[in-house]
Every structure is written in structure tokens, then in C-alpha cells.
Amino acid sequence: MPDHSTIVRALRRACPAFIAAALLLAGVGLKVSPSAAEGGRAIPAPAVDLPAGPASPAVAVFAGGCFWGVQGVFQHTEGVRNAVSGYAGGDRATAIYEVVGSGRTGHAEAVAVTYDPARISYGRLLQIFFSVAHDPTELDRQGPDIGPQYRSAIFPADAGQARVAQAYIAQLDRGHAFASPIVTRIEPGHAFYPAEDYHQDFLTRHPTHPYIVFNDLPKIADLKRLFPDLYRAEPALVGSGRVN
């Protein structure tokens, strides 16, 4: 379980969302506009993708704001075997939640997605990442969370992933898929470090947490709405020890 300081920090960084969601949970008749939380949007699939691979798993690492919601989205994605919250972009010694929160470590809150290339491609994961997991036009922030540790970034495992990601960003910008340019950074050559246990499976374990209710459950609904063929109702949880 997180200590008191961790809980306070999480609530403070989500203050606007916390207030609105708390009112909702208390039964107050508050109407929340769709723009209050990050809203998913339909975007075209990538024109350039990696070929379908064998059944051996591959790993993709994405950063898009607080890792609770990004992890939850990919845990509900067909073809994903595992999704782990963690840190990427900095050194092992600073891959600690309270230290990363300073915004001075180089780390971003990230999620390592282990997937089956025979069931889902890297390009389709990118499509979900840009469409529902976060807003790729927000610079060094996502929703109520502000700082470089919440930046939009892709940490490619190899040149092939980097090439597909670069081509897809160019495709989306060229087609004006978003009202503003995409600010997602492609950052190769960085290791991924898993986050503390209490961050894993957070969305599933705390579905009534105000931050989750306001910011992240809408992402799961958007995944189901926009990608019905890739949505899975039962998440692939870290804590279950299962390979799905």
C-alpha cells in the first residue's frame, strides 16, 4: 500500500479532477463535459507497420502521462500479454516514484507493453496509444499532471519500431488528425525500470479512486467504443501472474 505522502501527492497533482470526481461519487448533480477528461478520437491506422511476427512476445514502451491509465488501456487490449507501469528516460538510481516526481531525473512515467506480434502489430498499439491512451498534443503534461515526467514519448526497442513511430507521427500530422501538432518524442536507447508494486494494476484495484474515475475510466470506454475488435473485458493483470 502507498504511504500517506504518496497518496497526498497523487491527490494534489489531480486536484481539479479530484474535486469533480468526488462530487460525482457523492451523488452531486454535476454535469461533466466530454472535454473535462482526455477524450479519445478516431484516427487512421498507420500506413507503415512492422510485419506480423511469430508468436514469441515483443515489447513496446510508451509514456503518456500518469501510468495508471496507460497501463489500464493496454491491459484491456487484445494481443497484449502484460503491461507494466514504470519509468524510462533516466538512470536506474533515480527510478523511484518520489524522485521521478521532481521532474529532474529525465524519466517519464511509462508502460512496458509485452504483446504477441501474431495477434496485434506494433502499429496498432501506436494507434491505440495516440487515439485513446493520451493526448499527444500536450507538451510535458497530461490533463491535471504537469511536468516532463508526464511527457508524451515513445521508447523504441529497435530501429524498426523507431521507423514506424516516426512515419506514423508524420502521417497523423500531415493528415491533421489533431487540431495541434503532435509533440510526442521518440527516445531510443533507454532502459525501462518497473515502478513500485502499489502502482501496478492500479486502475483495476482502485476503480472508484477519483483520479481513475475522472481521467482513466473514460479511456477504457473509448477503447471499447473505437476499437471493439481489440477490446478485451478481462484485463491482463501484473498481479495475476498469468500470460494472456
Q: Report the catalytic residues.
A: 66
In the block, which residue shows the cell 451523488?
27
- The DSSP element (H or E) to which 111 belongs, if any, is strand 108-115
C-alpha cell at 210: 477519483
Beta bridge partners of 205: none
* Residue 195: other Cβ atoms inside 10 A: 22
b/e map of 114-130 (b: 16 or more CB within 10 Å)? bbbbeebbbbbbbbbbb
At 88 the three-state DSSP class reads strand
DSSP-derived pairing of the beta strands 152-155 and 185-186: parallel
DSSP string, 149-195: GG-EEEE-SSHHHHHHHHHHHHHHHHTT-SSS---PEE--S--EEEP
Query: What is the rounded CA–CA span in Å between residue 108 and residue 183?
Result: 14
C-alpha cell at 88: 524510462
202: left (phi over 0), alpha (psi -120 to 50) or beta: alpha
Query: Could you give the angle at the alpha carbon of 35 between the alpha carbons of 147 and 72, nearest 5°?
Result: 65
